Amino acid sequence: MFVKMYQQLRSHIEKIVPLTDEEFEFVSSLFSAKHYKKHQFLVQQGEMVPFNYYVVSGLTKLVYTADDGKQHILAFAMQDWWDNDFQAYYTQTTATLSLECLEDTVVLCLSLANYRTLCTGLPKIEHFFLEKVTLGFLSAQRRILSLLTASAKERYEQLIKQHPSLLQRVPKTQLAAYLGVSRETLSRLSL
C-alpha cells in the first residue's frame, strides 16, 4: 500500500512535470502518510493547519461553520485531489474552515517547511504547484459564478456532469448544502 500511495502521487505530479527516479525520491521524502476514519477531522476551525493534503483515497468535505451553526460546504475532495484551508496553511494562522472525512481517507501530508524545501530544491515542482493553484482558482471562479447566476436545477446538473460519483458517496443533506439549496429542493431536482 505504501509504495502504491507514492506511485499515485508520482503519476499525479507527472501529469504536469516529468520526474526522474532521483527527483521523485526527494519529493516523496518530504511527504508523510496518514490514515483517517470517517468523521475525523484533518483540519478544524480555530486550529493551526500543519499540512497540505493530497487525497490518496477516500472523500473529504471542506466546511465553513457560521456563528449560527449553519454549515456551508465549499468543496469535496476525492482521490487524486488536494484540499485544505489554504489561507491558514500558507499564512500559518488558525483555520476558518474545517476539513472532515466523509469516508475512511488516506492522505499524503506536506508541511509548509517541506513545501518550501521542495520548491527550492526542485524548481520544476513550483511549476506543478502553480498549475494546481491556477486550476483550483479557475474552478473556484466557476463555482462562484454558478452560485451567483445559475438556478438550483442548473447547479445540480453541473454537479452531476462534473462529478457523478458524488451522488452515490455524499448524503443528500450535504449535497444540498454544497449546492446552496434545501434538502427538499434537492429531492425535487433529483427526481
Q: The domain spanning residue 55 has which CATH number?
A: 2.60.120.10
168 in a structural domain: no
Instruction: Read off the C-alpha cell for 52.
Output: 497540505
H or E stretch covering 23: helix 21-29
39 in a structural domain: yes
Q: What is the pLDDT of residues 84-93, one digit of tens each?
A: 999 999 999 9
- What does the pLDDT read at residue 185? 85
Q: What is the pLDDT of residues 54-85, one digit of tens each?
A: 999 999 999 999 999 988 999 999 999 999 99
- What does the pLDDT read at residue 14? 98
- pLDDT for 115 beyond 60: yes
61 in a structural domain: yes
109 beta partners: 32, 53
- What does the pLDDT read at residue 1? 64
- pLDDT for 191 beyond 70: no
- pLDDT for 51 beyond 90: yes
Cα distance between residue 101 and residue 65, in whole Å: 16
Q: What is the pLDDT of residues 148-163, one digit of tens each?
A: 999 988 998 998 898 8
Domain that holds residue 27: 2-122
DSSP-assigned letter for residue 30: T
Measured at the alpha carbon of residue 97, what is the angle toward residues 170 and 13, in degrees to the nearest 5?
70
- Label residue 180 by pLDDT band (50, 70, 90): confident
38 in a structural domain: yes
Cα distance between residue 100 and residue 116, in whole Å: 26
Report CA-CA distances (Å) from 125 to 37, 135, 145, 164: 30, 15, 30, 31
18 in a structural domain: yes
* Ordered strands of the 41-43 beta sheet: 41-43, 98-101, 59-65, 71-78
**Which contacts of 122-131 are long-range, i.e. CB under 8 A and separated by 24 or more positions?**
122/23, 122/26, 122/27, 124/17, 125/13, 125/17, 125/27, 127/16, 127/17, 128/13, 128/16, 128/17, 131/16
Overall domain count for the chain: 1
62 in a structural domain: yes
- Please list the alpha-helical segments (H only) found in 36-122: 86-91, 112-121
52 in a structural domain: yes
Across residues 17-31, what is the average pLDDT?
97
Across residues 135-156, what is the average pLDDT?
91
H or E stretch covering 53: strand 51-57
Cα distance between residue 128 and residue 82, in whole Å: 13
* Candidate from 1-5, 30-34, 161-165 with smallest mean pLDDT: 1-5
132 in a structural domain: no
